[in-house]
Amino acid sequence: MPLDAELNSLGLPKAPADTRVVVAMSGGVDSSVVAAELAAEGYDVVGVTLQLYDHGAALAKKGACCAGRDIHDARRVAEAMGFPHYVLDYENAFREAVIDEFADSYLGGATPVPCIRCNERVKFRDLLETAKDLDADCMATGHYIQRKMGARGPELHRAADPVRDQSYFLFSTTAEQLAYLRFPLGHLPDKGATRALAARHGLSVADKPDSQDICFVPNGDYASVIEKLRPGAGEPGEIVDTAGRVLGTHRGVIHYTVGQRKGLGIGGLADPLYVVKLDPDARRVVVGPKDALATRIVPVREVNWLGDAPFDSRPAWELGVKVRSTRAPAEAVVRPTGPTTAEVELAAPEEGVSPGQACVFYGADGSRVFGGGWIWRG
């Protein structure tokens, strides 16, 4: 078609019937709606579901994505809407790229975010390459985030619905990946609108509950998963205050996270204590008062930058940053210390900043995502 051809709804100069779209289908309502909507618009849709772990053990497990029943649900949607669906075995890749690092990070006293690594290393790397091998023009997902065209190309923006926004989990999406990806749900006002679309298409997953857990962590019990992956990881040790005085014993560093207050087993104190640091080498959990959690300087590495100018082209960037997925962007100055490293100075101290978490950068308006990095020491 000529260069001045009208763009379709995915921003491509082709008729929908001539546009192949691989849809990453988890079996949930979000990705199912994306696939159904695109199929109804006449696109050449190919549904792909990833088997990320032994789903035989997960068939009876609720509240997590990519389990056995989710593969079945994705297949049913594809059959109902009349497009092909494939299940790809990514179990080994998922374990190497996500699960092993998750376990090792906890053993190292960090608090990892495996969903980000899954997007970065499996869905937006390996699956994206598979989509290209299938001659797809683009790949679509059910993530709540927006892709908008800017003066210098596609930009990443927060979802219209702040409650559903997943930008924190997608900060490591590269500019090259963004050129190929599409997020058809990012503009919707709320999850109710998604479910209404599912009902309109008669999808069996219209009322399916949202996933809550990390897919390979049943019932949120991180410690038991890590102990299975790394036998002996739950060795006991001392609970000490910030001066090094022993206050009690613990049942393994992997059972604690920075900022935790409950479950310390230390009684008889006038003021509550919080976990302020984990020292896995000494098998120590360091506790202190709440104000000991306050942090203003946050070192980050593995920075993925989505700004228009090179990251280290200026000494500092005034941005909003999120150091937890549940917090709103806060004012900060981001000072590059190299092409992929930085020191982030928060305008106001934040509590519970933990190594292993992401620090995500936003523009002044709070909408555009400028990338981010990984917090690497407390």
The answer for residues whose C-beta is within 8 angstroms of residue 376's C-beta and 6 or more apart is 299, 300, 301, 355, 356
**∠ CA 49-95-252, rounded to 5°:** 130
For the purposes of burial, counting CB atoms within 10 Å of the CB of 50, is it exposed (0-12), middle (13-18) or buried (19 or more)?
A: buried
What's the start-to-end Cα distance of the chain, in Å?
A: 55
* C-alpha torsion 181→185→191→195, nearest 10: -110
Q: Cα(216)–Cα(219) distance, rounded to whole angstroms?
A: 10
Active site residue 215: yes
Nearest Cα neighbor of 208 from 27, 76, 24, 79 is 27
Q: Cα(282)–Cα(135) distance, rounded to whole angstroms?
A: 52
Q: Of the residues 65, 66, 115, 118, which is catalytic?
A: 118
- Residue 283 is encoded by which pair of tokens? 């098998």
Question: Beta-carbon neighbour count of residue 347 at 10 Å?
Answer: 13
Q: In what order do the strands lie in the sheet with 284-288?
A: 246-250, 237-241, 284-288, 274-279
Active site residue 65: no
Only one residue has tokens 């292993």, namely 356
Q: Which helix (H) or strand (E) holds 299?
A: strand 294-305
Active site residues: 118, 215
